[in-house]
Structure 1
């Protein structure tokens, strides 16, 4: 990964990066520490602080603090929910309500480690959603999370019965194939097997809106990655 291609904004207090899908924010127990985003950031900046994180397969926007004071400020900002966090994702099917909120507490699954469930005994969790485009098989949805629970969007979309596409934990995990989108799809002569258009979680952290310690407001967007854009292009073509 060429870090300079992923930096969206750099100030003396913070750096905002667009994380590629498939990369951990922080190393886990099984992961090679050098391949996490924080390791790459430390190599480039020396002192750097993690404020929040994204799932490995979610692409998009992450803010890192560059000083201890900024780390304290931004950590409190995220905790007090004074940061607006917007995501874009492909979900299965078409939602009956084109705009709405999911206000369902989330807790850890009682048996499956690493999985979350909606449960009234869980922590308060709120997600707003709005359908941007519909394609029958899939819908492109904008989501805003007001709380930062583990897997929040994925759990809430599953709760609605429209899990995020290619979600192995909360959906069927099936990749997005051109053959399921394009009616007259044919494999190329020398191709034995179809390559998926998208084989990772179809979720992207698209935008952060916040104020820095001096009170200046920022609205930073991470462009949609090529893999999700390619799926959208095919879905739009098939809709014509």
Structure 2
């Protein structure tokens, strides 16, 4: 069964996700993203993203999909906490009038559109912290990556922080435990990373400054400061030099899963930026599984000031 709509001039240049909510009802972003990715919603017979801006006379097809029924199923699957996921690793680092800073646990998505039912946007939308407002995501952090993550509390701050990220005025530091002993103790990785978008090959330049904090013949603890912000940049770059991150099931040299760590050993350790001449620096404590593997691999990390 296909339900088809023609966009009238009232909604011209409106984002698709907003059009869906205006036309059909209050649909969670995660459900919209899943439907678009699976091709159950198309515009002019093409798959598009939720940010796509509809135009007058566009034809929107919804394929064999009952939003109301699906929404009931989603609610049964996931009932987010009214405060925050109960875990000693999900700590609030800072909570001010404009943004909140978290130490995100691995396994939790930033927003909808992934296979995970847990995502920070849904959780904090119902939180008392955001009463009278809503959370705005201003940057990315992979579901399996832990560490510092920021959400804005209002549109103005969201736009400001997004601009800072885009202009590379937000400085991030990551820590990773990877396979083998890196030859160089410091330097730069400059790569042309390949990704595909709807079958189209895209080549993106990526740059990262790195420093080996400790190493042995078996493993290395690496500090990384990405200059660019490509998808899976650090994971791809370490894989490209033959030192994939422990726990990385996508970028690894062997197809075998034997001995693969359950958790990805990549942690967003620090973030720095400046607003109105005021400096902000936030650090996220290492998760226990990360510290445990450091001991197993006989690697040392000194918590810098």
TM-score, normalization: structure 1? 0.79
Does structure 1 retain, via aligned residues, the 8 Å contact 2:110–2:143?
Answer: yes
1:74 aligns with 2:168: no
**Unmatched runs of 5 consecutive residues or more in structure 2:** 1-84, 300-305
CA-CA distance at 1:159 after TM superposition: 1.4
CA contact (8 A) 2:178 2:220 kept: yes
* Aligned: 1:2 with 2:86: yes
Contact 2:218/2:297 (<8 A) preserved: no
SS at match of 1:63: strand
The equivalent of 1:186 in structure 2 is none
* Partner secondary structure for residue 236 of structure 1: coil
> Is 1:129–1:143's contact at 8 Å kept on the other side of the alignment?
yes
The 1:92/1:111 distance shift into structure 2, 3 A limit, reads: farther
Unaligned 5+ runs, structure 1: 114-118, 178-195
Does the CA-based 8 Å contact 1:175-1:199 persist in structure 2?
no
- Aligned partner (choices 273, 277, 283) of residue 210 of structure 1: 273
Count of residues in Structure 1 that have an aligned counterpart in Structure 2: 209
- Inter-CA distance 106–48: structure 2 relative to 1 (3 Å threshold): same
In the TM superposition, what is the alpha-carbon distance from 1:169 to its structure 2 partner? 0.9
- The answer to whether the Cα contact below 8 Å between 1:166 and 1:175 also exists between their aligned partners in 2 is no
* Partner deviation per Cα, 1:33-67 (whole Å, 9 max, x = no partner): xx211111212114110001211111111111111
What secondary structure, in the 3-state scheme, does the structure 2 residue paired with 1:123 have?
A: strand
Secondary structure, aligned partner of 1:132: strand
- Scaled by the length of structure 2, the TM-score of the pair is 0.63
How has the CA–CA distance of structure 1 residues 110 and 26 changed in structure 2, closer, same or farther, with 3 Å as cutoff?
closer
CA-CA distance at 1:170 after TM superposition: 0.9
Deviation at 1:147, TM superposition (A): 1.0
Residue aligned with 2:244, SS: coil
1:70-109 Cα offsets, whole Å, 9 max, x none, are 0010000000000101000011101111111111122315
Deviation at 1:158, TM superposition (A): 1.1
Structure 2 counterpart of 1:147: 228
User: 2:111 aligned with 1:39, yes or no?
Assistant: no
Structure 1 residues 58 and 169, CA gap change in structure 2 (3 angstroms)? same
Partner of 2:17: none
Runs of 4+ in 1 over 6 A off after TM superposition: 110-113, 173-176
Q: Hey, what's the Cα distance between the residues in 2 that align with 1:107 and 1:27?
A: 24
Counterpart-to-counterpart distance in 2, 1:110 and 1:11: 37
CA contact (8 A) 1:175 1:200 kept: no
Which structure is richer in relative contact order (CA contacts within 8 A, separation 6 or more)?
Answer: 1
- Take 1:165 and 1:127, find their aligned partners in 2: how far apart are those partners? 19
Tell me, what secondary structure is at the counterpart of 2:121? helix
Structure-2 change in CA distance of 1:52 and 1:231 (3 Å): same
SS of residue paired to 1:54: coil
CA distance in 1, matches of 2:249, 2:223: 21
Question: Is the Cα contact below 8 Å between 2:108 and 2:116 reproduced in 1?
Answer: no
Highest CA radius of gyration, 1 or 2?
2
Alpha-carbon RMSD across the aligned residues, in angstroms, is 2.5
1:221 partnered with 2:283 = yes
Contact 1:98 1:130 (C-alpha < 8 Å) held by counterparts: yes
Per-residue deviation at 1:161?
1.4
